[in-house]
């Protein structure tokens, strides 16, 4: 728990949303987005979902598992796929959805792994770590390419 960090990051997020700036929230960022929109979190996934899907393993190394992308969601269009292997490293996740948020991906155990903000052209949040899989040829690069393309388009 770090109240100062929470206040700072929630303030940055609020400013970005107010300015309608592109947001790509990763892991804790997804959790902050959900909480900022009035949602809640599961404090410890194994207590709620069991251990059929490892979302994090000691000593805190990322684990790989698949996620199912929602049909018609922005992430599905970015990845051009219905399923994706991700690098997971979290023990908390969305419980009650925040206002205006919709799930965009799910783990096999039902954990929400991605969110999108309705009506926002590029507010995406993923619970996984795409930066850990951003090597050449990786589908994860699609997230970063989409963000860069949007920034270029907005700069014109």
Task: Name 73's Cβ contacts closer than 8 Å, sequence gap at least 6.
Answer: 102, 104, 105, 114, 116
> What's the pLDDT band for 150 if we cut at 50, 70, 90?
confident
Angle between helices 28-36 and 3-18 (to 10 degrees): 70
> What's the pLDDT band for 49 if we cut at 50, 70, 90?
confident
Tokens 């799930």 sit on residue = 103
Active-site entry in 9, 85, 91, 129 = 129
DSSP code for 139: T
Rounded CA-CA distance 74/124 in Å is 8
Q: Is the pTM of this model over 0.95?
A: no
The DSSP line for 36-62 is HTT--EES-HHHHHTTSS-S-BTTTB-
- Residue 58, pLDDT above cutoff 80: no
| Other CB atoms within 10 A of residue 134 CB | 15
Over residues 15-30, the mean pLDDT reads 95
SS3 content of the chain, % helix, strand, coil (to 5): 35, 25, 40
Active-site entry in 27, 42, 55, 116 = 27
Rounded CA-CA distance 155/73 in Å is 25
Residue 50 is predicted with a pLDDT of 79
Active-site entry in 15, 20, 99, 131 = 131
pLDDT tens string 91-145: 899 999 999 999 999 999 999 999 999 999 789 999 999 999 988 888 999 999 9
The domain defined by 23-105+116-155 folds into Rossmann fold (3.40.50)
The residues spanned by each domain of the chain are: 23-105+116-155
Residue 135 is predicted with a pLDDT of 86
Catalytic annotation present for 129: yes
Catalytic annotation present for 99: no
Rounded CA-CA distance 112/103 in Å is 6
Rounded CA-CA distance 46/90 in Å is 11
Residue 9 is predicted with a pLDDT of 97
Catalytic annotation present for 55: no
């Amino acid at each position: 728990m770090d109240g100062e960090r929470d206040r700072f990051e929630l303030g940055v997020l609020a400013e970005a949303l107010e300015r309608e700036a592109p947001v790509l929230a990763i892991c804790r960022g997804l959790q902050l987005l959900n909480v900022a929109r009035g949602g809640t979190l599961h404090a410890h996934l194994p207590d709620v979902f069991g251990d059929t899907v490892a979302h994090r393993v000691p000593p805190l190394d990322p684990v790989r598992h698949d996620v199912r992308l929602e049909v018609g969601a922005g992430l599905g269009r970015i990845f051009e796929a219905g399923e994706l292997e991700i690098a997971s490293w979290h023990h908390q996740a969305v419980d009650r959805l925040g206002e205006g948020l919709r799930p965009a991906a799910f783990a096999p155990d039902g954990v929400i792994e991605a969110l999108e903000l309705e009506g926002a052209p590029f507010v995406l949040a993923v619970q996984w770590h795409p930066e850990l899989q951003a090597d050449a040829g990786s589908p994860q690069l699609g997230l970063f390419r989409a963000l860069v393309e949007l920034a270029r388009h907005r700069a014109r």
